[in-house]
Structure 1
Amino acid sequence: MYLKKMLVKNFRLLKNFELKFKEELSLVIGKNNCGKTSALIIMDKMLNSSKIMWEDINLECQKDIYKNIISEQDSVASLEAVNLKLFIEYNENDSYRNIQKFMMDLNPDNNIIVLEFISIMPINKIIKLKDIIKEKKIENFVSFSKFISKNFSNYFETKKYSRGFDIESDQITSARSEEIDNKDIQKVIKVLGIRADRAVSNDDRNHVLSGLTSKYFSSYKAAKDESGLIFTKLEETLEEADKELYKIYNGEQSESGESIDGIFSDVIGVIKNYGGTESGIDIAIESSISEKNLLLDNTNLSYRQGEDCSLPETYNGLGYLNLIGILFEIETKIQELFEQPADINLLYIEEPEAHTHPQLQYVFIRNIKSHIATHRNKFLREKNKQLQILITSHSSHIVSECNFDDIIYLKREGNEVIAKSFNSLKDKYGGDEQQGFKFVKQYLTINRSELFFADKAICIEGDTERILMPMMMHKIDNKETSSGDTVPLLSQNISVIEAGAHSHVFVPLFDFLGIKVLIITDIDAANKNDDGKYVKSHPKDAKYTSNASIKIFFKYAGLDTSENQFRELVEKRSEDKIQDNIRIAYQVPETDGGYQASSFEDAFIALNKEFILKNKEGLYEYGALKNFNESDISSDYYIFALNKVAKKSAFASSLLYFDDENGQENEKWNVPQYIEEGLLWLRNN
């Protein structure tokens, strides 16, 4: 038995939201403010009887409620606000004891039960509210919101139902339903969580981890046999301690008969003098050490330093405090669940990366699945119950180390949030075994899991563009033509990835992520030899491009059947280079009839000839260019780039070294037009 799916309506950003859970671990990822926390809170609130508030309701729904309340129509119907549906799947190996009440039909093929939670305003409360609005002269939505926010619980209530489900149509059958009680729900599913706002701190006054030892002990004791040897030994030790403390508190007689005062002897004597023995005032201070209080007030977590030294918990970094705190809480909450388990026990962990450096994030995600698997097996073996884990994160480090099959990607689209399983990306590539899908998974793991959290991306070919891209973005941002309302490129959430000649392989991934993408690539002038194979060509003689990304991008436009691909590509307008959220950029002449380049290097040299000549000696000493004369650079840029660029990466880094943004015109270089056009499109869209 496991929680298969949840549907949410009108809870914060989750206007119409569906999330399909994994049986073991669901890793929910996405940028900030994409609904990850909301998905946890709605379950927590509905299942743990926390109160829904007016501010929890989606803004559009709030306005619809307001319109219905102020409506002058005679007919009145109850108004629904937040709605949560949980779909639970079971099989013949599961016990039907707790789910019998929720099984709405006897169809043996139907193995789904549906629990529905609705925050609703009933008709009688609507009528009452209408009268109050007139009485208080509430005349706009703002005033209505302030009033209903303060009085929400007076008008809204939460109803819980078991709904019928048609397995063939995969739809809820509203004709079959029954109101249910929370105590019955808790037997079927429980939700406990570890929130992101954990109170770890390395303030000397803060001892959060030490306090967690008490919580862990309580859950440990509840889950174990209290008659066990370890608890017997603890009880005997505490009894001996109580006896010794009694003597220290109240005093005692030595073996020689001498009276030895205790800590409280003086005050006890004073009290006796006031009351006298005849009044019966004869007190003593008893020691009553309980296990819980002993741990709560007298236990410190420390860090071992060698064999004979330890340091307080606050002497370690926040990352370690956070990791240790999470592990303590995981163990404590799992033991709480194990003590009185439901059929399904869902533990969520929100943003485990908080305060934690990348290496610790790797350690956490590498170990959590096997760690939880041990507990899952114990739940199944000893209780025949299910343990599911849900982790939310916006850490690219955690994503790069996880099993991609566990990923559920949350993405905002307009005013709504959608959830996509990474497994659905397989279909776009044609299956798990397709080379393209394998390549993308491997690339994301090794290089760029940050793509999951980017708003935009730039695909580049290699080292040259990677080295120069930040400076080119800076130059575009600083141009006088920049609009004051436009967010600079360097202030936007843009991920730059080196795709080589394989940018086309990433297109299904970009579509899955729903982000804007600029592909910067070389036009790669070519012709065909007698065998029909592409060979490099001078751009003035070329009829083809050997660039696979360009050919696939324009395949829909019939580029592969063109008699002169190269000329057709050069003549394309800017708007022809955009498909959905993707724009492609390749070399074009800087001016009408100007030089047509084949690669970044000859495009740059043609545009920045004076800069190259000004820094000739430095570029030569830097190992960027081979020695040359002015006549070499003036005669043919393609041949010059082919023969005189010593090493592309050295050429790129030297351009950064010799560039003087505040100098004369020939002391700074300009961005080639094809890149500038692409970056401007990305910046403004």
Structure 2
Amino acid sequence: MKIKKVKISCWRSVKALEIDFQDMMVFIGQNNHGKSNILSAILFFFGEIKHQELDFNYGSHELYVEILFSGLDDNDKTTFKKYLTVDNEVRVRKTAYFGGSFDYNGYIENPIDEFLQEQNVGSYTKREIAEDLPFYPYLPSSGRLSKQDIVDAQAAYIKNNRVDLRYELEQTNFLGLKSVAKGIFGDVYFIPAIKDASDDFSTKEASAFGKLYSQVIDSMSESNPVWKEIKDKLFTLFGTLNKVDGDGNENTSRPEELTNFERELSKELEHWSAEIDVEVIPPNINDVFRANTQVWVNDGVRTDIRRKGHGLQRALTFALIKVISDQLKKVREQDNTEEAKSRSISNSTYFILEEPELYLHPQAQRALFDSLLGLSETKNQVLLCTHASALIDVEKYSSICIVKKDSDAEGTKICQFAGDLFVGDGKKDFNLAYWINPDRSELFFAKKVVLVEGPTDKTIIPLLARRLGVFKYEYTLIDCGSKTAIPLYARLLNKFSIPYVAVYDRDYQAGKSQQAIDAANRDTALVESEVQSNLGNSVVFVNDIEEELGLPAGSKNKPYVALSYVSTSEFILSSQLEAKIRAIYT
């Protein structure tokens, strides 16, 4: 099963938030706006972290994280059958209270009639009360009534009769447990922004490497004949050290040194009427191998992982994640036993990463993104927060969630869009434009986006802005590739509520035919039709930026020629162009 929707209330900087989830979720935004708080809320739900008093939003005495799961397999449907909706989804809420306690509760289709509600079963265990209720024929005819008897009778009555139901949060504990066992919803792998990679590669079962290594050892223990033989010999060896053997008979081959040792100790305790029995317990050979394993890394120099650079440490951690994913996939494909189908723990896997780009160069970041994307396409779910444009794909805009916090009073908010942005060839045109210039993902991190037609505009506009003293680093210029592509980007920015300015050419150059001018007018109309006044505006060059600069028409290598011209002492910035540059950076 996978996360379909998350609802967060009063967790840290979040007052109230609802997020739609994809197989891969990328949370982006300014520092201290709440990206990590969203990830931590999900970790809290899965039992990976415990809540503390500082986790409660200011003034709150109760917080909760609610998750709607979809895509349940047969095993999940069996485990969570009480909570299944008609759409085969399950909604669960984890509530924490100021002071330390917490509850898990699921949403159920609860009968409107109180006598059929499970939370009331304790009121009907006396037969004289139960015999007046409609479900009484479904109870045992004699004997003391237990709560389970009442629950079974309620269920039988609901199954065989028309009952009015309402979907609501149950009053009893989820699955009848006071605390849902960690892992029942699936495996969670969390990689925080700052972490010693040696923790991941320790042989402790709680570590990522330890989990995988344990699987390898357990597999050897069950199938490798040499391993089995060693375990048997070790058990026999330790058995010779005790007074009695495994069958309870006297051990005649016990070493005399141990027997004498016991006798001397017991002699000293005679006046206490006590004696000593030294028993040697055979070690679990699997645990012995786990505890005595050391991971070495050889990159020309063989050392432990702690002595390697942060970049290699990070790469090793993600390599480990990839191997874990591949192993999980194989297990799921091969494990068709009845035991596997009936077990209560979900087969789902969630990878949660906080700023995974740290210590990685740009090429490694792009490779990491491809790996994470592949991970999300193999029945896993990947959640990450990042400041790197290399970990964003504009084409997969539905996975992007922009996190904002305009004020402490409002708290953390999000902006996302999962609908269809384009129709017809629009999506293909947009994807082609993006493929030519993939650094356009930077637009999601900008305070304001400047959409321009081509490379000359992108080169000259910021240079002139610097000369005028109005340049802003938080404004990102996006080379859209053409005037016709500007509306596609404007549409994307509208959906994510990112401020922008569309800078385009009027294209009325001398010598143009009426047909060409008509085409330019159509392109202009398309741009203006997409510009939303509450988010964007437009700046129009008379014909093109070259003409505004005073360059002769027909120049080749326009960006270089324009840059060289603007850099000369003869260049004079016209008041008209100056006004437009200032308008762009307003």
Give TM-score scaled by structure 2 length. 0.66
Residue 31 in 1 paired to residue 29 in 2?
yes
Q: Which residue in the other structure is 2:92 paired with?
A: 115
TM-superposed CA distance for 1:468, in Å, is 1.8
Distance 1:366-1:164 versus aligned 2 partners, 3 A rule: same
C-alpha distance in 2, partners of 1:677/1:165? 64
TM-superposed CA distance for 1:521, in Å, is 1.9
C-alpha distance in 1, partners of 2:571/2:532? 28
TM-superposed CA distance for 1:679, in Å, is 4.5
Q: Which residue in the other structure is 1:159 paired with?
A: 103
1:218-297 matched pairs, under 5 angstroms? 218-221=213-216, 224=219, 226-229=221-224, 232=227, 235=230, 292=287
Deviations, residues 229-270 of structure 1 (Å, cap 9, x unaligned): 177179579969x99xxxxxxxxxxxxxxxxxxxxxxxxxxx
Distance 1:31-1:550 versus aligned 2 partners, 3 A rule: same
Q: Which residue in the other structure is 2:43 paired with?
A: 44
TM-superposed CA distance for 1:162, in Å, is 1.7
Q: Which residue in the other structure is 1:82 paired with?
A: 63
Conserved? CA contact 1:18–1:419, under 8 Å: no
TM-superposed CA distance for 1:508, in Å, is 0.8
Give TM-score scaled by structure 1 length. 0.58
Conserved? CA contact 2:433–2:480, under 8 Å: no
In structure 1, the residue corresponding to 2:51 is in which secondary structure? coil
Residue 649 in 1 paired to residue 559 in 2?
yes
Q: Percent identity?
A: 14
Conserved? CA contact 2:415–2:496, under 8 Å: no
C-alpha distance in 1, partners of 2:227/2:54? 51
Q: Which residue in the other structure is 2:320 paired with?
A: 328
TM-superposed CA distance for 1:300, in Å, is 3.6
Q: Which residue in the other structure is 1:561 paired with?
A: none
C-alpha distance in 1, partners of 2:566/2:367? 37
Deviations, residues 552-571 of structure 1 (Å, cap 9, x unaligned): 34469xxxxxxxxxxxxxxx
Q: Which residue in the other structure is 1:97 paired with?
A: 78
C-alpha distance in 2, partners of 1:641/1:46? 64
Conserved? CA contact 1:40–1:348, under 8 Å: no
TM-superposed CA distance for 1:584, in Å, is 1.0
Residue 602 in 1 paired to residue 547 in 2?
yes
Larger radius of gyration: 1
Q: Partner amino acid for 1:219?
A: S
Q: Which residue in the other structure is 2:158 paired with?
A: none
Conserved? CA contact 2:357–2:386, under 8 Å: yes
Conserved? CA contact 1:528–1:534, under 8 Å: no
Q: Partner amino acid for 2:383?
A: L
Q: Which residue in the other structure is 1:365 paired with?
A: 369
Conserved? CA contact 2:66–2:92, under 8 Å: yes
Residue 437 in 1 paired to residue 416 in 2?
no
Residue 396 in 1 paired to residue 389 in 2?
yes
Residue 461 in 1 paired to residue 453 in 2?
yes
TM-superposed CA distance for 1:116, in Å, is 1.6
Deviations, residues 524-573 of structure 1 (Å, cap 9, x unaligned): 2269999x5135xxxxxxxx7825443334469xxxxxxxxxxxxxxxxx
In structure 1, the residue corresponding to 2:29 is in which secondary structure? coil
Q: Partner amino acid for 2:416?
A: K
In structure 2, the residue corresponding to 1:641 is in which secondary structure? coil
1:176-215 matched pairs, under 5 angstroms? 177-180=171-174, 181=177, 183-184=179-180, 188-190=184-186, 192-200=188-196, 209=201, 215=210
C-alpha distance in 1, partners of 2:228/2:580? 74
C-alpha distance in 2, partners of 1:322/1:369? 17
Q: Partner amino acid for 2:471?
A: L
Residue 518 in 1 paired to residue 501 in 2?
yes
C-alpha distance in 2, partners of 1:388/1:341? 20
C-alpha distance in 1, partners of 2:395/2:291? 38
Q: Which residue in the other structure is 1:500 paired with?
A: 482
Deviations, residues 453-484 of structure 1 (Å, cap 9, x unaligned): 2222111222322222331221232xxxxxxx
C-alpha distance in 1, partners of 2:458/2:532? 23
Conserved? CA contact 2:548–2:577, under 8 Å: no
Conserved? CA contact 1:13–1:58, under 8 Å: yes
Q: Which residue in the other structure is 1:259 paired with?
A: none
C-alpha distance in 2, partners of 1:184/1:233? 36
C-alpha distance in 2, partners of 1:175/1:315? 51
Mean CA deviation greater in 186-195 or 454-463: 186-195
The RMSD of aligned alpha carbons is 4.6
Distance 1:185-1:115 versus aligned 2 partners, 3 A rule: farther
TM-superposed CA distance for 1:190, in Å, is 3.5
Conserved? CA contact 1:303–1:313, under 8 Å: no
TM-superposed CA distance for 1:419, in Å, is 4.5
Q: Which residue in the other structure is 1:53 paired with?
A: 52
**Aligned length in residues:** 475
Higher relative contact order (CA 8 A, sep 6+): 2
Conserved? CA contact 2:404–2:413, under 8 Å: yes
Q: Which residue in the other structure is 2:145 paired with?
A: none
C-alpha distance in 1, partners of 2:169/2:196? 50
C-alpha distance in 2, partners of 1:210/1:118? 33
C-alpha distance in 2, partners of 1:302/1:413? 43
Q: Partner amino acid for 1:360?
A: A
Q: Partner amino acid for 1:491?
A: Y
Q: Partner amino acid for 1:519?
A: A
Q: Which residue in the other structure is 1:349 paired with?
A: 352
Show structure 1 runs of 5+ residues with no match. 66-79, 121-151, 244-271, 377-386, 478-487, 536-543, 557-576, 588-596, 606-639, 659-666
Q: Partner amino acid for 2:483?
A: A
Q: Which residue in the other structure is 1:491 paired with?
A: 473
Conserved? CA contact 2:5–2:18, under 8 Å: yes
Distance 1:476-1:331 versus aligned 2 partners, 3 A rule: same
Conserved? CA contact 1:516–1:682, under 8 Å: no
Deviations, residues 382-438 of structure 1 (Å, cap 9, x unaligned): xxxxx53434433322324x97276232242644422424x42x2x323xxx22222
In structure 2, the residue corresponding to 1:469 is in which secondary structure? helix
In structure 1, the residue corresponding to 2:402 is in which secondary structure? strand
Conserved? CA contact 2:24–2:373, under 8 Å: no
In structure 2, the residue corresponding to 1:491 is in which secondary structure? coil
Q: Partner amino acid for 1:30?
A: I
Q: Which residue in the other structure is 1:303 paired with?
A: 298
C-alpha distance in 2, partners of 1:188/1:463? 53
Q: Partner amino acid for 2:389?
A: S
TM-superposed CA distance for 1:221, in Å, is 4.7
Deviations, residues 14-61 of structure 1 (Å, cap 9, x unaligned): 333222233xx32323124453322221122133174333432334xx
Q: Partner amino acid for 1:192?
A: V
In structure 2, the residue corresponding to 1:580 is in which secondary structure? coil
C-alpha distance in 2, partners of 1:175/1:194? 29
Q: Partner amino acid for 1:455?
A: K
Show structure 2 runs of 5+ residues with no match. 111-164, 239-260, 270-277, 333-339
Please, which of 525, 531, 541 is the counterpart of residue 551 of structure 1?
Answer: 525
In structure 2, the residue corresponding to 1:489 is in which secondary structure? coil
Q: Partner amino acid for 2:67?
A: L
C-alpha distance in 2, partners of 1:497/1:372? 30
